[in-house]
């Protein structure tokens, strides 16, 4: 017995190492693509940095200084080394350090928006899905599928405009733009983020409700549910404790898988409500052709993507004891 458990431990250790190596490889490809993006972008970085008036000598000097005379592979290694250290260069437009601008200023805004939207979606979506599953073909079931269809059809940028029209213009309840950090001023911040979070969350509500409904329907047929009922446990406990516990896995999977959709929505939502997040940063950087900032943006989103996938992978064991390794 001791022998097998030891072997199991080694196997899982190797598997983790394999997953880590795989991730490192993806990171390498991602960084390569980002570097290639910078190389392919039109315009001469030296000419942009020097401005309109410069001499041949100063051009050649900066050219060498930037290492542009070296082979690509060396330039890539050099760039990667600086990137890892957080030296991402200066923005030409805002004259600000790009790492500071992207990671310290824009990223928290996007993460706050995403977290708040997810919260809205979970709080609305899970109960809706549960009611839809327990009372099939009722009005709640109909509502859940309507929300799912609508959520897919109303892109964030349109839904945002509609909500602005309804809640800021017609009713005057919420502001239509501007960002106040809820970490500094909780009430004003949440008030400003209410509509954006609703906009971005709406898309997820349908998805979460659909997944909750279909997985719960499957779970309801399992023998342990009948057993729980036979033990005389109250109905709500059977559903919410025994049932939901088993719905969490597919739910986490879908939430993780749809992160791309979340980021897509976040970019559009930020622009609709002029929130100074990553989406806004990348959008204006593409417009002003600031490739260094665009590159920083795509790198961060890709890293975020990879990180969430890893976290989702790790949560499985937490949620389902059957998958836990000894």
Partner 1 sequence: MNAPTTSLAGAPSPWQRLTRTLGRTWGLLRRQRKAMAGGLIVLLFIVAAVFAPLLAPYSPTEQNFTDAMQGPSAAHWMGTDSFGQDILSRVFYGARSALWIGFASVALGLVVGVAVGLLAGLRGGRTEWLLMRVVDGLLAFPELIMAMAFMAVLGLGMNNVILALALSFVGPFARTVRADVLQVKARPFIEAARLMAVPEREIVLRHVLPNIVSPILIQAGMRVSIAILLASGLSFLGLGVVPPTPDWGLMIAEGRGFISMAPWMAGMPGLALATLLIGLNLLAEGLRDALDPKTRGDQA
Positions in the binding site for partner 1 (CB under 8 A): 22, 25-26, 28-30, 32-33, 37, 40-42, 149-150, 152-155, 157-158, 161-162, 164-165, 169, 176, 259-260, 263-264, 267-268, 271-272, 282-283, 285-287, 289, 291, 294-295, 297-298, 301-302, 305-306
- Between 283 and 315, CB nearer to partner 1: 283
What's the closest the beta carbon of residue 41 comes to partner 1, in angstroms?
5
Closest residue by Cα to residue 61 from 71, 73, 69: 69
What's the closest the beta carbon of residue 174 comes to partner 1, in angstroms?
13
- Between 193 and 272, CB nearer to partner 1: 272
Dig out the tokens for 6 from the structure: 């030891």
What's the closest the beta carbon of residue 238 comes to partner 1, in angstroms?
27
Closest residue by Cα to residue 263 from 126, 118, 164: 118
What's the closest the beta carbon of residue 57 comes to partner 1, in angstroms?
30
What's the closest the beta carbon of residue 176 comes to partner 1, in angstroms?
8
Dig out the tokens for 137 from the structure: 């073909």
- Between 30 and 217, CB nearer to partner 1: 30
- Between 9 and 32, CB nearer to partner 1: 32
Q: Are 205 and 121 in contact (CB under 8 A)?
A: yes
- Between 9 and 178, CB nearer to partner 1: 178
What's the closest the beta carbon of residue 281 comes to partner 1, in angstroms?
11
Distance CA(57)–CA(100), nearest Å, equals 32
Distance CA(116)–CA(295), nearest Å, equals 26
Q: What are phi and psi of 183, to 5 degrees?
A: -75, -25
What's the closest the beta carbon of residue 295 comes to partner 1, in angstroms?
8
Residue 290 is given by DSSP the state -
Q: Are 224 and 242 in contact (CB under 8 A)?
A: yes
Taken in order 28, 34, 37, 38, the sign of the CA dihedral is negative
What's the closest the beta carbon of residue 38 comes to partner 1, in angstroms?
10
- Between 238 and 304, CB nearer to partner 1: 304
- Between 228 and 262, CB nearer to partner 1: 262
Distance CA(164)–CA(219), nearest Å, equals 40
Residue 97 is given by DSSP the state B
Q: What are phi and psi of 97, to 5 degrees?
A: -65, 130
Distance of alpha carbon 156 from the chain centroid: 15
Which run of H or of E encompasses 254? helix 244-257
Distance CA(217)–CA(171), nearest Å, equals 39
Distance CA(231)–CA(194), nearest Å, equals 43
Dig out the tokens for 120 from the structure: 């809205």
- Between 248 and 306, CB nearer to partner 1: 306
């Amino acid at each position: 017995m001791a022998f097998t458990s030891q072997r199991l431990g080694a196997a899982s250790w190797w598997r983790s190492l394999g997953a880590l190596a795989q991730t490192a490889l993806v990171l390498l490809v991602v960084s390569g693509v980002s570097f290639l993006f910078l190389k392919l972008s039109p315009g001469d970085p030296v000419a942009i940095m020097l401005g309109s008036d410069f001499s041949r000598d100063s051009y050649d000097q900066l050219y060498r200084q930037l290492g542009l005379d070296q082979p690509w592979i060396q330039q890539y290694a050099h760039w990667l080394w600086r990137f890892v250290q957080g030296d991402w260069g200066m923005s030409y437009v805002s004259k600000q350090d790009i790492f500071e601008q992207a990671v310290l200023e824009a990223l928290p805004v996007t993460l706050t928006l995403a977290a708040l939207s997810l919260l809205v979606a979970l709080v609305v979506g899970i109960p809706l899905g549960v009611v839809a599953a327990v009372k099939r073909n009722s009005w709640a079931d109909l509502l859940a599928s309507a929300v799912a269809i609508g959520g897919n059809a109303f892109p964030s940028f349109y839904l945002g405009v509609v909500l602005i029209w309804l809640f800021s213009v017609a009713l005057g309840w919420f502001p239509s733009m501007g960002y106040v950090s809820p970490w500094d001023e909780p009430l004003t911040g949440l008030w400003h983020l209410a509509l954006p979070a609703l906009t971005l969350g709406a898309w997820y509500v349908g998805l979460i409700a659909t997944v909750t409904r279909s997985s719960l329907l499957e779970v309801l047929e399992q023998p342990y549910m009948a057993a729980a009922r036979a033990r005389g446990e109250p109905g709500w406990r059977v559903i919410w404790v025994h049932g939901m516990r088993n719905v969490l896995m597919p739910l986490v999977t879908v939430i993780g898988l749809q992160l791309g959709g979340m980021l897509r929505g976040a970019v559009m939502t930020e622009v609709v409500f002029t929130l100074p997040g990553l989406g806004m940063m990348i959008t204006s950087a593409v417009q002003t052709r600031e490739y260094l900032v665009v590159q920083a943006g795509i790198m961060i989103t890709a890293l975020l993507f990879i990180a969430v996938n890893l976290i989702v992978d790790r949560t499985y064991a937490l949620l389902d004891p059957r998958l836990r390794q000894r």
